[in-house]
């Protein structure tokens, strides 16, 4: 059977990391099996659904590279899938459920339900466990009277399924009530929309958050009544904060697009998300292709995993280093520009500088920060570094270094290093006497990539000019 999976977000906010992980597991499964990945926008909660949230879903998935085969913007028979455009289909299925005595119209008013709830409270002392008492189950069917539609759940026995992630799950029917499937205005509630869509879209496996375990009994009941096989189910535990609570904005950046703004690599986000709840031996770093190859349901954890920023940063930095310097340079460009540095995208110095700073940068923002001094007329000088290293007694050494460097043929890292090292040795000057002062003069900072690397990328004129300026500053420091 061809694998058909789906991701069915409700457009009520930004795309949360947990939802992105659900999308990812589905996408990986589709790609691994040559199946289809369907995107369906569950927009039936009209009060809470917004265009911005919809756009955020598309942008987030686009950024992560989770492309869908069917759904919004696909066209033809393959979409768009917005539930509000499918009301007719839900209506037909509800009619079938009613005709088969698996659902019924309920004419109770809000006032009726309030009274029933009060009666329950009076009898039991509280309103926990209040369930719709089934008042309309045996009432005559009056399609023209204002109504909602309710599912008729069995009054005894139980329902269960073998969940790919959670194992055997069973609910006694006494825990279930005749839940509303369709509102008065003909708009479906979640359970109806999801089942009708999963059925008519031929979904073979449903992977979603485990907050939907409680909805599954009602959904199974509908499949049975509609005479359709129940798809395989995989309920994914949620992502937890380090404290064990559900991860929220209070604990971390939880929107997918937040990580774009933080200068993360999409593949790193995927890698970190996949590992939050799935393992493959003790491997931590995976390329996208490896994930497609190795992902399985068997190794998805049954319980929630905790968000760990340190691990995320480690995965992120590892992915950054897997990219080509030219790509990192291009992807960092936005932040380079934001720093007010003017450097053309094809300036070869940008790629060279990026290559130098990559081993110690965690994000594109850090890359931009680290290449800053290469692209200013004069570097921004850290006053503490200057105070410590550009001191009067260093001035002569810096001037002597300039003289030495002026004599070097060509301007390549190795030639520069050989020449300077030979000079230091001949004069019996320890490297540390010039290394930090030269670094501060060239970069304005205490830490940087290797001095000779920096000089090569800066070029001859800039390097000599900065060293001479550093010597002047040192002299002036008195």
Question: Which residues make up the interface to ligand GLU (CB under 6 A)?
Answer: 8-10, 42, 194, 208-209, 212
* Contact stretch for Zn ion (CB under 5 A) within 7-15, 45-53, 136-144, 253-261: 136-144
What is the length of the chain?
A: 478
Count of residues in contact with Zn ion, rule CB under 5 A: 4
Pairing type for strands 158-163 and 167-172 reads antiparallel
Report in angstroms how near the CB of residue 225 gets to Zn ion at its nearest.
Answer: 19
Report in angstroms how near the CB of residue 153 gets to ligand GLU at its nearest.
Answer: 19
| Binding site partner of 212, from Zn ion, ligand GLU, none, Cβ cut-off 5-8 A by kind | ligand GLU
| Binding site partner of 385, from Zn ion, ligand GLU, none, Cβ cut-off 5-8 A by kind | none
Shorter beta-carbon distance to ligand GLU: residue 4 or 208:
208
Binding to Zn ion, residues 414-473 (CB under 5 A): none
| Binding site partner of 474, from ligand GLU, Zn ion, none, Cβ cut-off 5-8 A by kind | none
How far is Cα of residue 378 from the mean position of the Cα atoms in its chain? 38
Report whether 394 contacts 433 (CB < 8 A): yes
Shorter beta-carbon distance to ligand GLU: residue 80 or 209:
209
Report in angstroms how near the CB of residue 149 gets to Zn ion at its nearest.
Answer: 10
| Binding site partner of 136, from Zn ion, ligand GLU, none, Cβ cut-off 5-8 A by kind | Zn ion
Does residue 136 touch Zn ion according to CB under 5 A?
Answer: yes
Shorter beta-carbon distance to ligand GLU: residue 40 or 462:
40
Report in angstroms how near the CB of residue 438 gets to ligand GLU at its nearest.
Answer: 57
User: Which one among 32, 135, 260, 313 touches Zn ion, defined by CB under 5 A?
Assistant: 135
Q: Does 152 qualify as catalytic in the annotation?
A: no
| Binding site partner of 20, from ligand GLU, Zn ion, none, Cβ cut-off 5-8 A by kind | none
Shorter beta-carbon distance to ligand GLU: residue 6 or 439:
6
| Non-local CB neighbours of 256 within 8 Å, separated by 6+ positions | 14, 15, 16, 17, 20, 60, 63, 64, 269
Shorter beta-carbon distance to ligand GLU: residue 16 or 466:
16
Shorter beta-carbon distance to Zn ion: residue 136 or 254:
136
Of 246, 249, 384, 387, the catalytic one is 249
| Binding site partner of 54, from ligand GLU, Zn ion, none, Cβ cut-off 5-8 A by kind | none
The phi and psi torsions of 239 (rounded to 5 degrees) equal -85, 130
The phi and psi torsions of 40 (rounded to 5 degrees) equal -130, 125
Structure tokens belonging to residue 212:
């939907």
Nearest 10 degrees: Cα torsion 322, 326, 330, 336: 100
Report in angstroms how near the CB of residue 208 gets to ligand GLU at its nearest.
Answer: 3
- Angle of the 413-427 helix axis to the 451-458 helix axis, nearest 10: 130
Report in angstroms how near the CB of residue 126 gets to Zn ion at its nearest.
Answer: 22
Strand-pair partners of 246: 240
Report in angstroms how near the CB of residue 132 gets to Zn ion at its nearest.
Answer: 7
Report in angstroms how near the CB of residue 36 gets to ligand GLU at its nearest.
Answer: 16
Give the x/- contact pattern for Zn ion in 47-86, rule: CB under 5 A.
Answer: ----------------------------------------
Give the x/- contact pattern for Zn ion in 88-127, rule: CB under 5 A.
Answer: ------------------x-x-------------------
Shorter beta-carbon distance to ligand GLU: residue 12 or 399:
12
Which residue's Cβ lies closest to ligand GLU? 208
Shorter beta-carbon distance to ligand GLU: residue 26 or 316:
26
Does residue 230 touch Zn ion according to CB under 5 A?
Answer: no
Interface contacts to Zn ion, rule CB under 5 A: 106, 108, 135-136
Q: Which residues are catalytic?
A: 249
């Amino acid at each position: 059977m061809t694998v058909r999976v789906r991701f069915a977000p409700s457009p009520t906010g930004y795309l949360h990391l947990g939802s992105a992980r659900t999308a990812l597991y589905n996408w990986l499964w589709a790609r691994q099996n040559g199946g289809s990945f369907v995107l369906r926008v569950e927009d039936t909660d009209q009060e809470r659904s917004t265009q911005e949230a919809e756009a955020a879903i598309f942008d987030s998935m686009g950024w992560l590279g989770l492309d869908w085969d069917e759904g919004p913007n696909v066209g033809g028979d393959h979409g768009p899938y917005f539930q509000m455009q499918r009301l007719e289909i839900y209506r037909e299925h509800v009619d079938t459920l009613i005709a088969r005595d698996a659902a019924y119209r309920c004419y109770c008013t809000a006032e009726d339900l309030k009274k029933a709830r009060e009666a329950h409270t009076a009898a039991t002392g509280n309103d926990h466990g209040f369930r719709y008492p089934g008042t309309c189950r045996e009432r005559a069917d009056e399609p023209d009277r204002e109504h909602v539609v309710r599912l008729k759940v069995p009054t005894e026995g139980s329902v269960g399924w073998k969940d790919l992630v959670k194992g055997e799950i069973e609910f006694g029917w006494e825990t279930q009530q005749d839940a509303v499937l369709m509102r008065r205005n003909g708009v479906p509630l979640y359970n109806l929309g999801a089942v009708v869509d999963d059925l008519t879209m031929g979904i073979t496996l449903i992977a979603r958050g485990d907050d939907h375990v409680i909805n599954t009994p009602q959904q199974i009941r509908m499949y049975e009544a509609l005479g359709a096989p129940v798809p395989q189910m995989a309920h994914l535990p949620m992502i937890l904060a380090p404290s064990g609570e559900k991860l929220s904005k209070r604990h971390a950046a939880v929107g997918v697009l937040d990580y774009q703004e933080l200068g993360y690599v999409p593949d790193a986000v995927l890698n970190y998300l996949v590992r939050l709840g799935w393992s493959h031996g003790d491997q931590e770093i995976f390329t996208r292709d490896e994930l497609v190859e190795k992902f399985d349901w068997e190794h998805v954890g049954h319980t929630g995993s905790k968000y760990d920023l340190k691990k995320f940063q480690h995965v992120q930095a590892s992915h950054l280093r897997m990219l080509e310097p030219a790509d990192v340079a291009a992807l960092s460009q936005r932040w380079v520009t934001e720093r007010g540095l003017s450097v053309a995208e094809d300036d070869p110095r940008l790629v060279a500088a990026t290559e130098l700073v990559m081993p110690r940068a965690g994000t594109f923002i850090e890359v931009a920060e680290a290449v800053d001094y290469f692209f200013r007329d004069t570097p921004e000088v850290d006053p503490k570094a200057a105070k410590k290293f550009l001191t009067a007694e260093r001035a002569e050494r810096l001037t002597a270094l300039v003289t030495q460097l002026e004599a070097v043929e060509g301007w390549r890292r190795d030639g520069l290093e050989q020449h300077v090292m030979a000079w230091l040795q001949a004069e019996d000057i320890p490297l540390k006497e010039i290394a930090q002062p030269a670094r501060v003069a060239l970069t304005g900072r205490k830490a940087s990539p290797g001095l000779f690397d920096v000089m090569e990328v800066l070029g001859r004129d800039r390097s000599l000019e900065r060293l001479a300026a550093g010597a002047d500053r040192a002299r002036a420091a008195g």
